[in-house]
Structures are given as structure tokens and as C-alpha cells.
Structure 1
Amino acid sequence: MLIDKRSLIKGAAALAFAAGLAAPLTSARADTLPERFANLYEAAKKEGQVVFYTSYRQETSTAVLEFWRKNFPDVKLNIVQKQTLDLIPTIEAEKAAGRTNPDVVFISQRFILDDWKKRGYLTPYKVRDFDKIGGNYRDADGNYLATAATLLSAAYNPKVFPDPSVLPKKITDFLDPKWKGKIVFSDPRSAASQLTWFQTLLAHNIITWDTIKGFAAQDFLFTRGNAESVRLLVAGERDLSPLISSQNVVTAKERGQSIEAYILDEGVVTNENYLSIFKGGPNPEAAKLLIEVLTSAEGQEIVANAGSYIPTHPDAKTPAGLPKLADIKVIVADQDIGGDASQKFLEQFDAVFNRQ
């Protein structure tokens, strides 16, 4: 079911988080990945493995692992899977101990990669399709490349609101007293996406602390994460939210649950995920092969379908029900998430909401 077009940005395609995954990979490509990267594959075979630190969900890791085994059976893919905010201190601790364990890293915090670039942790490498991927989604020197994005958009229960035209159109519309006691929101102390959303909107002057004080008067029901917020919306315990991650909405809709997402007039914050090669990693040739594969259109489709991501490669098909990045007004999340700025935000946020 398509979302009411009145809720979309000017000229944007309707955003509908429909059930089901995207169609199979395109069959018109002239060569296979093993053929395209035959020389890299031969070099990687001599190393025999590649170590991948990633914040993928389990189903995404499983899909990538199966795809890799099928196409590159002579190079073992070793996946270390953690949340981004857990991966970062793990890598920092390993570097402090004089070790570089990963060959390739996939995380969602660009400012961390910029810091690692300055500290000489990363190996610049421009993949074959580097010039096809938009400048917003890559480091100019090739130190990192965004291959997947999620939307941090508003959501609601369509059983409660069969006519979506009555929904809030702007962030400040959620301050209307009629929404008091009806809003669910994940706690930015436990949900990184909510923390990203708040810090990004403040940095871009889209909201102010007065807006957040207005939220505090609306009797928000806080949850620990997006999955729980979805559950409460679907159950009818709350009716709408200014923010739920698109991954969770798509997953719920695939299960036939009653939830829809839509984009507010200000645009939508996107949470990009980046790939980078680590300097001094144990398998440098295999690292190049892995990052070539995961940044290719085929690789991005595998990840997008398994994890409900939006690919950044223009030739990669977007999963059903998700918009192309080019069709929406994107608010780039380029803030220091998880660092000192986040701690200061959370302290002020707790004070506004009178939380001890």
C-alpha cells in the first residue's frame, strides 16, 4: 500500500514500506563477480581468508556469508559481528595493544572513520565503481564508502489512522496537545538511531531545545529500541512516532503487522553505513576483494535485501517498498554520535524530561 503522497517531499516518489524483499539480482550484467575480480581472487587465494568486522544484523551476515561461499569458496570469510558502538571500542582497544585484527570494517559512524583516517588507521582504496557512487557517500580519497542506508522516519498504525492526511506533517506538529499520550519513542540513551536523529536535527537547526521541551510535555512513552516501539504501535498501545528505523518497519510489515512509515516535510535523516579497509590488516589482497564485492551493485543488493537497507550504488535495485535515495530529501547525519557531544546532549535531554 502506498503512503499518502501529501506526506512526501516535493517531487519525491511515494514511500511505502511494503512486505517482501526485492526482486532477484538483475540478470543483465555481462560478467559474474568472480570473473570481474579474477586477479584479486587469485591474489586473495594465497592469503586464504579475510576478516570482516561488521554491524550487520545476523540475517545480513548469513546472507553475505552464503553469497561469498558460493562465489569465492577458496577464501574464507571470517565475520565478527557487533553493534557499531561496540565495534568502535573493540577496534580502539586492539589498536592500543598494537594489533590490527580486521581487514575490512562496516560501521555507521562517519566521524569515527574521519578520525581513524587522520590517525592513519585506514588504507585508501578506490573500488572499481567508486565514481558511480555519489560524493555524499564516499571519502574523496577512498578511505571509506557508504554502501547502505536506513531511513529514520515517522511511523503510525494505519488501523488507527486509515486516512494518513490527519497525521503530523512537520516535527513541530507532534507538539499539538491532541497527540499527548499517543506517541511512542525509543530512548536516545539506549537507541543510537534516536540519538543520531536528535543530534542531527539540532545541528541542522531543524529543531531547537524548545522543540525538545515541547516533546517533554507530550507524555512520550519511551522504549529501549525501535523493535519495541514497533511492537507497541502494532499492538495499539500507542498510535504514532516521529521516528522509527526503516529496517524495523520493513521487518514488521513482512510479518503482516499493521504499521506504515512516512516522511515529514523537513525531510528524513538517513543513517549511512560505511566500508573501509584497515591498514596493516592480516589479508590486504583479500580485503580489496571483499570491499570490491560489497560495494558492487550485486553485493549491495544482497545486503539491501537481507537487511532492509537502501543501496547507494545507482545500478543496485532498492528493496520493495523503500525509496531510492535520489527521490527523497536527505538530512545527512554527520555528527559525533557516541562521543562527548552525545554525552552532553543526553545530560541536557534528561534534565528537560526530568529524568534522574
Structure 2
Amino acid sequence: MARRLCALFATVLTACLIGPVSAQPAPATFESVLEAAKKENGLVVRLSSPGRPQAIAALTEAFNKRFGLSVKPDWAPANAPATNTRVITEAASGRGSIDIIGLGSAEDVSSMVSRNLVVAYPWTEVFGKQLPAIQRAVDAVLPELKGQALPVLDAVYGLAWNPALIDEASLPKTTADLLDPKWQGKMAINSAFLNPLPSMAYLIGPQAMQDYASKLLRNKPVLEQGTPAVSRAISVGQVPFGITTYHAAQRTMQNGEPQKFRLLDDYVFVFEGYAYVPENAPNKNTARLFLAWLTTEGIAVANQHEALPLISNPESDIAKLIGAHVARTKAKMATPTSLEQIKSTEVLRQTISKMISGQIAN
């Protein structure tokens, strides 16, 4: 009897010391996410692409019809780093007002991951049955960010030109051709460290890329604040051609402006544009459901109104364009394959920025 009492006392004492065992939340399922989404109050999207009103309206209608919802997104284009800053500030005071952030770079996502404001999510396990293409979207993300973001588009860079000012046959064909003095002051490029050209460093090394940047700057390219501004400079006739993205050129053409696009023959530059759901999102279930759908079935809906190129989809126009181009020209893919590789060019990008500002002589 005494032994039984001692054993009982020991059990009670242990329970008191440990306290009640909290129940672990059940793993998310598609059904649980959908039911929770029905109880949420909206969807706040700060995403620059897609951004045309027609595309947003079509996506909203198709999403609601697909899942029996009546979501009315608060959708506005925004700069991902600026949105990150807002989310970080709100999180410090226990608040959150943004559900989806994008388009962000790998470094934008990594910045939020380091603060535990974006965490890995089992996209395939939750949505794989209803949205089979979600696995392809998950696999397209850089390995260090897998599960933490999904790709909305690939920024594929090449040459865009104004056909009223120059014909295709006269265009430079390679990055080396851009150094020809005859193009002095006639080409536009992003003023942010000559983006996307630093990606050449993955193939030729940082020092060779720095030397190339110095030569290019001596050719006095027209520096624009962002890639969309490069497309505008071309279409209004400020310059005959420039380095811009496939999707920016496509949207310019959709607006009826004079512009065409081709890839360079030596390098194909590709950067993934990500969207992600912060941990302090007020409508987290709706956000995850929408983002999973957008990056799978929703891409086709958006593409009817504006270009969202994804080379991870082998049937996409951009994947076919790049495949045929590489087969013909043997162009090399100048695109990062890891977050570590991107970080390895940070000093190079800073150096090019100083060259642009005049802090370092060319």
C-alpha cells in the first residue's frame, strides 16, 4: 500500500512540475485551410506583378469561383523591400496588415526568414492534390528558400528596341558588342549596379565583370531608375534600345507602344521573382490558398492580360523561347543557383554602384 501511495504521489508531483501537456496543432490540410479562409475578412496583397487592373479582376473572379469564396483583394503594387520594412515594424508592435508580399528577390525573402517573419510551409502536402503543379513551383525556388516563397514570374533579361529608331539586324548581339563606341549614349540600362549584368560574374568571375562594367560605363549608357523605366525610355524614343525584361517589353507592347524584344546571344539572364506570406499576416489561410493557386492555375489566367513568364513550366512561351535560343546560339545561363552564390556578388555590386556614383573611377 505504501509503495502504491509513493508511486501515486510521484506521478502527481511529476505532473505538477511539468504542467499540463499542450495539444499540438493538427497539420494543415487543404480542407482546413479552405474552411479557415472562409472565416477570414479579406486579402491584402502588395504585389507588383501582376498589376494590370484587368489581370487582377480576372484573377479575383477565377479564384473565387474555383474555391467558392467572395474575396475582394486590397491589391496594390509595392516595392518588396519597402513592404518588408513595414511588416517588420508592425511585427515589433504585435500587429500585421499585409498578407502577400512581392515581387521580391531571393535576398528580400532571406531578410524576412532571418527574422522569423517568413517560415517554411508544406505547400505540396497541403495543396498537392487540388493543385498538382504546386510541386513544380516549390522545386523552382532556390534551395535555401524552399517552402518559404513561391515564384510568380521569372525576370528574363535581353535587348528591347524601338523599331521606329533601329532595326533588329543593326542591334548588338552580345554583351561584348555593347562596348562598341558607336553605341555611346544610345543604350539604356538599370542604374542599380547595371542589373542584370553582374550575373556574368557567376561565369567569368567578379574581377572580369568589374572590368567589363568599367568599360561599359565609359560608353555612357543612359541610366534609368529601374527596369520598367528602361522600357519607357525605349518606347518614347529617348534611346533606340536597352536591356530590359521580357515581361516589361511584353507589357509595353500590349499597351500599343513601339517595342520589340530579343535575347542576347552570349548570356541569358534570369532572376526569379518571389511572393511570400509573412507570419503576421491577418488573413494567412486566404493568402496561402491564393498564392498556391496563383502560382499554378492562376498563371494562365493572368497571362491573358499581362505576361507572367515562368521558365519552370516547359510549356510556357518563355521556356520554349529560351530553349530554342540556347540550342541555336549556345548562350550560357547567367542565373543564380543558390542564395550563397547571390551573396558572393554583393561586394561586386557595391563596387559597380560606387563606379556609377563616381566614388570609384572607371
TM over 0.5: yes
Write out aligned runs for 1:60-75 (5 A).
Answer: 60-71=55-66, 72-75=68-71
Q: Deviations over 1:206-255 (max 9, x none)?
A: 652221221222232333344443344345443222x1122331123224
Does 2:182 correspond to 1:178? yes
Counterpart code for 1:347: K
2:36 matched residue in structure 1: 43
Kindly indicate which of the two structures has a greater share of residues assigned to helix: 2
Equivalent pair of 1:102/1:278 in contact (CA under 8 Å)? yes
1:3 matched residue in structure 2: none
Q: Deviations over 1:65-101 (max 9, x none)?
A: 3433444433443335312232222222222333333
Write out aligned runs for 1:5-84 (5 A).
Answer: 40-56=33-49, 58-59=51-52, 60-71=55-66, 72-84=68-80
Does 2:94 correspond to 1:98? yes
* Residues 63 and 84 of structure 1, relative CA distance in 2, 3 Å threshold: farther
User: In structure 1, how many angstroms separate the alpha carbons of the residues matched to 2:234 and 2:179?
Assistant: 19
User: In structure 2, how many angstroms separate the alpha carbons of the residues matched to 1:101 and 1:150?
Assistant: 28
Number of equivalenced pairs: 309
The partner residue of 2:357 within 345, 350, 355 is: 350
* Residues 174 and 84 of structure 1, relative CA distance in 2, 3 Å threshold: same
- Unmatched segments (≥5 aa) in structure 2: 1-29, 327-331
Give RMSD over aligned pairs.
Answer: 3.5
Write out aligned runs for 1:1-356 (5 A).
Answer: 40-56=33-49, 58-59=51-52, 60-71=55-66, 72-125=68-121, 126-127=123-124, 128=128, 129-133=133-137, 135-137=139-141, 139=143, 141-164=146-169, 166-188=170-192, 195-205=194-204, 208-241=209-242, 243-296=243-296, 298-311=297-310, 314=313, 318=316, 322-324=318-320, 327=323, 330-333=333-336, 335=342, 343-351=350-358
How far off its partner does 1:184 sit? 2.6
User: In structure 2, how many angstroms separate the alpha carbons of the residues matched to 1:58 and 1:197?
Assistant: 22
Equivalent pair of 1:152/1:245 in contact (CA under 8 Å)? yes
Counterpart code for 1:51: V
Equivalent pair of 2:43/2:71 in contact (CA under 8 Å)? yes
What SS is found at the alignment partner of 1:155? strand
* Residues 93 and 227 of structure 1, relative CA distance in 2, 3 Å threshold: same
- Unmatched segments (≥5 aa) in structure 1: 1-36, 189-193
How far off its partner does 1:269 sit? 1.7
Which has the higher relative contact order, 1 or 2, with Cα contacts under 8 A spaced 6 or more apart? 1
Counterpart code for 1:47: E
User: In structure 1, how many angstroms separate the alpha carbons of the residues matched to 2:32 and 2:312?
Assistant: 23
Equivalent pair of 1:301/1:311 in contact (CA under 8 Å)? no
What SS is found at the alignment partner of 1:275? strand
Return the TM-score normalized by structure 2: 0.71
How far off its partner does 1:197 sit? 0.9
Q: Deviations over 1:242-281 (max 9, x none)?
A: x112233112322444322111123222232213232243
- Larger mean CA deviation between 276-285 and 213-222 belongs to 276-285
How far off its partner does 1:290 sit? 1.6
What SS is found at the alignment partner of 1:289? helix
Return the TM-score normalized by structure 1: 0.72
How far off its partner does 1:310 sit? 0.5
* Residues 163 and 348 of structure 1, relative CA distance in 2, 3 Å threshold: closer
How far off its partner does 1:138 sit? 5.1
Q: Which has the larger radius of gyration?
A: 2
* Residues 318 and 116 of structure 1, relative CA distance in 2, 3 Å threshold: same
Q: Deviations over 1:2-23 (max 9, x none)?
A: xxxxxxxxxxxxxxxxxxxxxx
Counterpart code for 2:119: T
**Identical pairs, percent:** 20
* Residues 260 and 39 of structure 1, relative CA distance in 2, 3 Å threshold: same
